[in-house]
Amino acid sequence: MNRMVKFQRYFFLLVAFLLGSLAPLYGNVFNFLLLVFVLVLLGVNRKEVMRNIRQERVYILVNVAFLIYFSLHTLIVLLKGDPIAPPSYGTFEVLILNFILVPIYVSTFRNWLTPELLKQFLFYFCLGCLLLNVYIFFSLTGTNLFSAPLDTLNGIYNVRFGENRVVLGSKFWLEVQAMILAMASLASYLLAIKERRPVMKMVCFMMFFLLLIFLSFTVTKSSIIGFLLGFLILNVYLFRKFTLQMRFGFIAGLLVCACAFTLLTDIAMYEKRIQEIEEEIQSVRSGEYKGATIVPRVAFIRESFRHVDEFSLWGLGVCTKHRIKAWYEASEMNIAIYNNVNNAFLQYWITGGIFGLGLVLFLFVAPVYRMIRKRNFSVLIFVILIVFFVVSNTCVTLSWANSRLLILLFLAMFYFYGEMFAKLECFPDKSTTL
């Protein structure tokens, strides 16, 4: 193995760790790190990089095509003069450094990625996520966990793990934190089931349990629902792979985990959230629109579709940000303080018209289509896509630096290397031990 391949592998594992930890905090800085790395690869081994890009050219060209469309749209808007709202050009950086650069970087894995290396990637990703959340937990509670554990846990539920807060100098959105915890929990759970080494199996199970506890601290509906759906599907898949004896042990283990989790979870906080949801639903029905979770999201969609004639076909392009803000300031539904629609699919529809909506749907559907076409099904890809899809319907995951790079990198990996994920999950026989 030459030195460059070794370096790429080490960088690959470093990226995994950073994706779970620092990359969501400093996504824009991480973009330029990837850019430098890709430029170095082009300088060292241009032929191989270009060959890998050509193999996945359709996926990459879809993103390039949208960049070209967005550029032409911007040119037309500026040439016409008097735009509908003040232009904002940040989308160009997003398209180039995320939607195009990230798939190009992911395509460079092709010649050396193996199922074993992919397993290490997932492990380091989960480890990075765990360490970041351990840091956040102790930054909020200090050492109170050791002196007053019950009061500390109740307190962390009451503040919802700090909600949207500054972490290490960067704003970290609670929805994104919960989404990453949900996907890391699912990945660590599958790693624990698949791991044969007793010590590593214990480490993965402990990591899964801690990540799940941290996820519960967020009390975030979309991520928890996404996790529960994915966890159910994952367990049905695993249950079918086991022998009868293993199934009994599997069920017993799940029951023990469920009981322990229930004892540690502040059920009252979830009951409070359910009550809040019921009150907000009633507020929407009465036309008052008072609330902070369900109410604004319903209002975003309703207000946006009042202006569907402005964006349905071509989109608002560079005028999107300020035009949405103007809609909400003029709305009677108490949403003047917001400036995005809290829905990634609707946001890109408004931005790029049917081409923007088509791009986002393509990114989500393409991995599933390739799995079906190649008859290489990966349950981990499917359950993480569920988490991405559910959360993307309640926040603008592809517009926030905290989540955009992570989602696009994983979506590209799912599409390019679906067969690797499938091999990672293979059970060679019915004797696999828990």
Predicted local confidence at residue 261, as pLDDT: 63
Helix (H) or strand (E) holding 194: helix 174-194
DSSP string, 273-323: HHHHHHHHHHHHHHT----SSHHHHHHHHHHHHTTHHHHTTT--GGGHHHH
- Interatomic CA distance for residues 384 and 328, integer angstroms: 32
Which amino acid belongs to residue 397?
T
Nearest to 208 by CA among 233, 226, 227, 236: 227
DSSP 3-state of 110:
coil
- Interatomic CA distance for residues 60 and 30, integer angstroms: 20
Q: Strand 170-172 vs strand 165-167: parallel, antiparallel, or unpaired?
A: antiparallel
Please report, for the chain, the start and end positions of each structural domain, with discontinuous segments joined by +.
3-272+344-424
Taking a C-beta distance cutoff of 8 angstroms, is the pair 295, 276 a contact? no
Taking a C-beta distance cutoff of 8 angstroms, is the pair 228, 189 a contact? no
- Interatomic CA distance for residues 289 and 301, integer angstroms: 13
In sign, the C-alpha dihedral spanning 364, 366, 368, 371 is negative
Nearest to 174 by CA among 160, 159, 185, 163: 163
106: CB partners within 8 A, 6+ apart: 409, 412, 413, 416
Which amino acid belongs to residue 122?
L
DSSP 3-state of 56:
coil
- Interatomic CA distance for residues 127 and 135, integer angstroms: 12
- Interatomic CA distance for residues 154 and 198, integer angstroms: 33
Taking a C-beta distance cutoff of 8 angstroms, is the pair 213, 261 a contact? yes
404: CB partners within 8 A, 6+ apart: 27, 94, 98, 397, 398
56: CB partners within 8 A, 6+ apart: 103, 107, 415, 416
pTM: 0.92
Ranges of the chain whose pLDDT falls below 70? 1, 243-246, 248-250, 256-258, 260-270, 427-434
Nearest to 297 by CA among 354, 330, 340: 340
Is 359 exposed, middle or buried (CB count within 10 Å of its CB: 0-12, 13-18, 19+)? buried
Phi-psi region of 52 (alpha: psi -120 to 50; beta: other; left: phi over 0): alpha
Predicted local confidence at residue 433, as pLDDT: 46
Taking a C-beta distance cutoff of 8 angstroms, is the pair 206, 173 a contact? no
Helix (H) or strand (E) holding 340: none
Nearest to 63 by CA among 107, 31, 105, 103: 103
Predicted local confidence at residue 1, as pLDDT: 53
- Interatomic CA distance for residues 367 and 410, integer angstroms: 10
Nearest to 379 by CA among 429, 426, 411: 426
- Helices then strands, each counted (H, E), the chain: 21, 2
Taking a C-beta distance cutoff of 8 angstroms, is the pair 131, 105 a contact? no
- Interatomic CA distance for residues 379 and 166, integer angstroms: 34
Residues in the chain, overall count: 434
Cα dihedral 233, 238, 241, 244, rounded to 10, equals -110
